[in-house]
Each structure stands twice: as C-alpha cells, then as structure tokens.
Amino acid sequence: MIDAERRIATLAHTPHLELLRQRFEENYGSSERATLVVAPGRVNLMGDHIDYNGLSVLPMAIQRHMALLYRERDDRSVRLVSSDPRFPNREFQLADQIAPGEEGDWSDYARAACQAIVQRYQVGRGFDAVIHSDIPIAAGLASSSALLVASALAALHANDVWTEKMELAVVLAEAEHYVGTRGGGMDQAICLAARRHSASRIDFDPLRLTAHPIPPEWHFVIAFSLVRAEKSGAALETYNLRTEESGQALQGMTDSLGHSGEIDSYSDLLAEYHANELIAKSGDVLDETLMRRFVHVVTEGMRVRQAEKALHSYDMRAFGELMSESHESLRESFEVSTPELDELVEIAVRAGAVGARLTGAGLGGSVVALCSDSKSKKVLKALADRFYKKRNKRRDLGAALDDLMFVAEPSAGASVTPL
C-alpha cells in the first residue's frame, strides 16, 4: 500500500496534516515516528440496498477523507482524540471482546475495528491517535466506514501485520455489524480498494473489484438533504427491517418455485430464472410489501449491469436515465427516500442533470446527480438557490455551501504513510 509516489500524493492531499500534527503533539508529545492513515468517503452511483443481498454495486471513493495520525504504544491501550469537539476523547483496551461506549458513541467504529483485528490477527499493541475528517457525517457518504477502516489499518500497522485488501474488506464488513447495522460490504471494500479516476463494480462471494474509468467530462454532483441519516434510532431500524424484508421476499420466491433449501441467494435465483419472469411471478406469490422489496432488489441489480455498460460506452444519457429509474425504485418500491431527497433530485434534473438518485441507505443523507462538465455550475447554482438558500432564511445551515454540495472526484482507496 506504500510507495514513494503514493506517499507524496497522500501527503500533498492531506490539507489537515498540520492540524493533525499539532493536535497529536498537544495530546501525546512529539509526532516523530507517527504514521498517517487516510481513508476516503464514497458515493454509490448505482446499486443501493442490494450489497447485503449479495448483488453487485457500483460506487466510487471521493475526495473527502478520514485522516488519522497515530503512533504505536507498548501496551494494549487505544487512545483517540477527534478534532471535532462533538466527539470527546476516548480510551479502551485491545481485547477479544471490546465493550461498546455509551449508546451510539462515535468511538464504537474504532472499537469494532480493533475487536475484529484482535480476533482475526491476535494483535496486542495499542496506539495513540488523533483524527480529523471532512466527510459530512450521516450524509450517506460512509463516514463511519472510513473511521472503521482507518482504525483497522492503524491497529494492523501498529502491529506490523500485513493483509491482503480483499481479505481485510471481508473482515471489516462483518466487523461493522458490531454497531447494530446488518449491512453489506460495499463501503469497507470501496474505502480500501478504490482506484483514482474510476468507479468500481464490486462483486460479493467472492469479493472482487473491477475498476471502470469515469470520463472526465462526467460530473457527479453530491448534494446533502440536510436530514441526517443517523444509524442509531429510526434509520437503523428501517435499514435492518429492509434487510429482513428482502430476505423474506427471496425465501417466499424460492419456496413457491420449489427450491427451498437449494437456492438461498438472489444471485443463484437470478442464475436460474430470468428477472422479468421472477418479477411477473412475485405479484402472485408475495404480499404487496415484500413484492415491492423484491422488485427493487432485482431491478436494481439489473441497473448496475446496465450502468456499467453505459459507463463503458461513454453513454452519459443512458447512465443518467438509469440513475433516475433507480431513485424512483428506491422511493416507490423500497420506501427509503424522503421529500428532501426527492426535491433535490427534481431540482438537479430540471437544471440540466441527465439523472439523479439518492445515494447510500437513504432515509436522509445525500443525492448524486450526473451532468456534463458544462452543466455542473448551473446544477450547483440551482441547488443553492432553490434548496439551500430557501431553507437558510429560516435556520442557520451551520456549514459553507461547499460542504453541502460539491462535484465528486473519483479518488483512490485508503493509504498508510509513515511520516
């Protein structure tokens, strides 16, 4: 993961390195022999709520990062300091079972990572770390997985353990269940193994990434709905309910087709039957809710394949149309959109985006809109005027517009750089 070119690039792209060093020195003394870990956020371009059903997805890493500066210790303590005052200092011990913090504590992602690394690689050396992130929190851009990945890389490198990225991604997908989500493996995999200038198709079982370059004139605009999709409370419950429902829908279909016990995944079912045949049958077999969930999963899986083809053939219009269809399916069939996300999608499309969709889990969070480079200024301006400024009259946004909406740059995966 470390080579000279990457090292220089990493340092050059860490604008907050000085701040990290300063915070490190305030808390732990000299920052000599410290190591920098950088883990990106991500935007998912196609394929939401299907990774936990084992179907392929198409995300890319973005230019927003979780940066963590650490130095290893001689004992099992892990000490964490965040530059964000909302997240108080935390300390815990490396162990096979690490107790979570108070309800929804921010350090649970680091605890989850460390517990998994101890269980898998039997490490015993802790570390002192400071972290700083510019990934918007609870915005559907996987800031929590970036913290999990950065903490895991610190725990591994502090103990001189080297692992293969795909192996680690599998371990960390499971590790994140510690916080209560029954999620899939998209976020950890793209955070670890994304390629610059590219989106990646991620296949599961076995985990594999296939990178596809993004044409430079394709601009993906990300816009935050101002509704935080916190994975504690209601959003967590709905998310887990959707995983359950899509499992029940699969079960209902395999039972009715006489394959119970033989077919236990969407990919196996889709290998056996044509998607359209399954969709037609689902109306007879499943109740209304499960039928909708089933239709979303199956059609979203198809859209990932079609989007990949559109990307290959530089067909921006086709890609955009698939994004809008995907949003409609997430809204109507999977019921994870919100009025704010719908409004952002509509504003972006009216202003010239070829398509737009919610990204990530939904239930708040962000949308992603595709437009040509010549249109992106117009799309950003429309979002500012018709969404953010309208709301800003009534309340303080508390952040610059640049933090609420920006053009995503397809970025590289996580890196570890000794200073």
Q: Could you say which of 181, 200, 282, 333 contacts ligand NG1 (CB under 6 A)?
A: 181
Instruction: Compute CA distances 318 → 62, 308, 314, whole Å.
Output: 23, 10, 9
Q: Does 186 bind ligand NG1 (CB under 6 A)?
A: yes
Within 36-55, the residues that bind ligand NG1 by CB under 6 A are 44, 48-49, 51-52
| Structural tokens at position 303 | 């859209």
CB 94 within 8 A of CB 114: yes
Which positions from 345 to 374 touch ligand NG1 by CB under 6 A, shown as an x/- string? Answer: ---------------xx---x---------
Per the residue annotation, which of 48, 187, 268, 284 is the catalytic one?
187
Stretch that binds ligand NG1, among 140-148, 193-201, 255-263, 375-383 (CB under 6 A): 140-148
Q: Does 183 bind ligand NG1 (CB under 6 A)?
A: yes
Do the bridges between strand 77-82 and strand 127-133 make them parallel or antiparallel, or are there none, so unpaired? parallel
Instruction: Compute CA distances 213 → 9, 44, 195, 386, whole Å.
Output: 19, 15, 9, 32
- Shortest distance in whole angstroms from residue 54 CB to ligand NG1: 11
Smaller CB separation from ligand NG1, 40 or 360: 360
Stretch that binds ligand NG1, among 81-89, 129-137, 181-189, 287-295 (CB under 6 A): 181-189
| Residue 293: partners with Cβ closer than 8 Å, 6 or more residues away | 242, 245, 246, 249, 333, 334
Helices (H), 85-228: 108-121, 143-158, 165-175, 186-193
Q: Does 337 bind ligand NG1 (CB under 6 A)?
A: no
Cis before residue 410, ω within 30 degrees of 0? no
Cα separation, 24 vs 17, in Å, equals: 10
CB 214 within 8 A of CB 373: no
Q: Does 118 bind ligand NG1 (CB under 6 A)?
A: no
User: Any catalytic annotation for residue 315?
Assistant: no
Which positions from 209 to 238 touch ligand NG1 by CB under 6 A, shown as an x/- string? Answer: ----------------------x-------
Q: Does 308 bind ligand NG1 (CB under 6 A)?
A: no
The phi and psi torsions of 113 (rounded to 5 degrees) equal -65, -45
Cα separation, 196 vs 63, in Å, equals: 10
Q: Could you say which of 54, 126, 136, 184 contacts ligand NG1 (CB under 6 A)?
A: 184
Cα separation, 262 vs 76, in Å, equals: 46
Stretch that binds ligand NG1, among 2-10, 161-169, 179-187, 205-213 (CB under 6 A): 179-187
Stretch that binds ligand NG1, among 4-12, 17-25, 177-185, 216-224 (CB under 6 A): 177-185
Residues forming the site for ligand NG1 (CB under 6 A): 44, 48-49, 51-52, 140, 142, 145, 176, 181, 183-184, 186-187, 231, 360-361, 365
Q: Which residues have a catalytic role annotated?
A: 187
